[in-house]
Amino acid sequence: MIKNTNNEPVAGSDCIVVIACSTGGPKALHKIVPRLPKDFPVPVLIVQHMADWMTGPFSKRLNDVSEITVKEAAHGEALQPGTAYVAKGGLHLTVAWNESGSTVFLDDSMPIDSLKPSADKLFESLVDGPYDKIICVVLTGMGQDGTVGIKKLSESKNTYVIAQDEASCTVYGMPKAVYQNGLANVVCDLNEIAEQIIRKVGE
């Protein structure tokens, strides 16, 4: 387990799921998150490129059809198993931690490649974090957000990267970039991704 600057063990789960998506992402998330069981044992962090006035209502709609809790991420709240935290539009979602566990840190720094929130920013925030296993899921979307962050993360962490296949994407950009950079452990249809997540978390 990663230690903090006081050389004390950091409390918290050793696994987390991080999902990145853009164009077509809301529809894709509705195919994945509602299939996660109520007793899902780890937190889920979601970066969906979306305007700030949309992320709250979107989180509520997704929560209404899911067994796990889905909410717009709030600064300073502790990450809990069985809860999905959606990045608030206009702010970067990152993770902070201390002896008590991991918390949401909303970062108001500059956009990265014109994106805020940025999946790269979230992945990079986990490089020195307490999680020993990080399941990265890259879904439909334009561009390549997530690729740089996953590459950095994979250099120091046990990562497992699930990329959505071209046939089931609205826009085959983000998962294509992950695949072409040799970072994807598995490429699969949208309808298979929830099962892949559940299986890998349970290993």
Task: Check: CB of residue 47 under 8 Å from CB of residue 93.
Answer: yes
In a domain, residue 10? The reply is no
Give the Cβ contact number of residue 146 at 10 Å. Answer: 32
In a domain, residue 7? The reply is no
In a domain, residue 126? The reply is yes
Task: Express each pLDDT in 89-105 by its tens digit.
Answer: 999 999 999 888 899 99
Instruction: Let me know how many helices (H) and strands (E) the chain has, helices first.
Output: 6, 9
Is-catalytic flag, 49? yes
Which of the following is catalytic: 49, 59, 66, 120?
49
In a domain, residue 4? The reply is no
Taking alpha carbons only, the member of 70, 76, 39 closest to residue 55 is: 70
Distance CA 112, CA 38 (A): 34
| Total domains in the fold of the chain | 1
Is-catalytic flag, 128? no
Neighbouring residues of 190: CB distance < 8 A, sequence distance ≥ 6: 28, 31, 32, 139, 140, 164, 165, 168, 169
CATH number for the domain that contains residue 114: 3.40.50.180
Span between the terminal Cα atoms of the chain, in Å:
18
> Which of 78-87, 98-107, 142-151, 163-172 is predicted with the least confidence, judged by mean pLDDT?
98-107
Task: Express each pLDDT in 56-91 by its tens digit.
Answer: 999 999 999 999 999 999 999 999 999 999 999 999
In a domain, residue 5? The reply is no
Name the maximum alpha-carbon separation found in the chain. 48
Residue 24 in tokens: 């077509």
- For the question of whether the overall pTM of this predicted structure is more than 0.85, the answer is yes
Which of the following is catalytic: 118, 145, 165, 168?
145
What is the mean predicted confidence (pLDDT) over 98-113?
A: 91
Is-catalytic flag, 30? no
